[in-house]
Structure 1
Amino acid sequence: MTELLNKRAVALRYEQNAAAPRIVAKGSGYTAEAIIERAKEYQVPIAIEPELVELLVQLDLNQLIPPQLYAAVAEVLAWAYQVDGKTAEEIRAAREGKPA
């Protein structure tokens, strides 16, 4: 039970032409569990980065991540794209709105 209560989760979304990724869901305990279950349901890659999550949960919903976290979040997003089977070329093309 204590493990569940200490669990935290954050969901990010990075859209084309956005200045930075945005916090679209965050929570602890049962809310964190629900975020994780929803991600699994939709086959969204789940990264376990407790230190980064601790920083991200302090942000507001729909807030863009601050520049200080760009590098850390970029690493997680690059990993997620790789796990999802997208190449660097496909990621660049999607960001530029072009077919890969």
Structure 2
Amino acid sequence: MSGRKEEKKAVALRYDGVSAPKVTARGFEGLADEIIQLAKDAGVLVHEDPELANFLAKLEVGDEIPREVYVIIAELIAFATWLNLKA
């Protein structure tokens, strides 16, 4: 173990219900903190998963998510929808 601290990452996704979710923002370190805070302020679900963040952070803004993560993203969208319906 190198003891090196992992770089903080944040990726925002948008799903229009028609095509695959797309990356709408991504950032590292301070920008990641801003993305997370904006999401929280807007009442958007913030999910912390370093492995998923590492995978999604390789995408560019505007890219659709790859098939490899459809299931996990679909589960997160379903959970966020359920939370909104309960509120």
Question: TM-score band, normalised by the shorter chain?
Answer: 0.7 to 0.9
Aligned to 1:39: 39
Q: How many angstroms does 1:85 deviate by?
A: 2.4
- Contact 1:46–1:80 (8 Å) recurs in 2: no
Aligned to 2:30: 30
Aligned to 1:58: 58
Aligned to 2:16: 15
| TM-score of the pair, normalised by structure 1 | 0.74
- Contact 1:8–1:53 (8 Å) recurs in 2: yes
More helix by share: 1
Residue 48 in structure 1 maps to residue 48 in structure 2: yes
Instruction: Supply the distance in 2 between the matched residues of 1:72 and 1:61 (Cα, whole angstroms).
Output: 19
Instruction: Supply the distance in 2 between the matched residues of 1:75 and 1:16 (Cα, whole angstroms).
Output: 14
Q: How many angstroms does 1:47 deviate by?
A: 0.9
Instruction: Supply the distance in 2 between the matched residues of 1:39 and 1:50 (Cα, whole angstroms).
Output: 17
Deviates more, 1:6-15 or 1:74-83: 74-83
Measured on the aligned residues, the alpha-carbon RMSD in Å equals 1.8
Identity of aligned residues (%): 36
Instruction: Supply the distance in 1 between the matched residues of 2:82 and 2:26 (Cα, whole angstroms).
Output: 23
Q: How many residues align?
A: 83
Runs ≥4 residues deviating over 6 A: none
Q: Which runs of 5+ in 1 are unaligned?
A: 87-100
> Quick one: which amino acid aligns to residue 15 of structure 1?
D
Q: How many angstroms does 1:7 deviate by?
A: 1.6
> Quick one: which amino acid aligns to residue 9 of structure 2?
R
Deviates more, 1:57-66 or 1:74-83: 74-83
| TM-score of the pair, normalised by structure 2 | 0.84
Q: How many angstroms does 1:78 deviate by?
A: 1.6
